[in-house]
Amino acid sequence: MTTNRFTSFDEFWPYYLQEHAKPRTRALHYVGTTLVFVVAAFAIVSGQFWWLLAMPVAGYFFAWLAHFTVEKNRPATFTYPGWSLAADFKMYFLWLTGKLGPELERASVRPPSR
């Protein structure tokens, strides 16, 4: 088994998208990332800052669920934690703005056949 060694985020990004090829995987990531923002907002608004401890749980639970049950691969977080977190937010905001499609195409992630 070969291990990819990336030296930049730009090299890592297409790999990250390929590891999130299935729409259900990405959808579960979006749920988790949305919960991260909801939990952060709640903690700030309520002044109950201990809720910030729930942010990683909210985000990673859904992401890892997706990898282990849908994508059936090992989360990139285990090898590239910083780049993986940055890529998750990039994927999320590209999805929210409707700009993820071209990035998926450039990474050779094909839409599911119907």
Q: Are 109 and 100 in contact (CB under 8 A)?
A: no
pTM of the shown model = 0.90
As given in the structure block, the two tokens for residue 43 are 């903690």
Residue-wise pLDDT tens for the chain (114 aa)? 446 789 999 999 999 999 999 999 999 999 999 999 999 999 999 999 999 999 999 999 999 999 999 999 999 999 999 999 999 999 999 999 999 999 999 999 987 765
- pLDDT of res. 3: 60
pLDDT at residue 1 in the model: 41
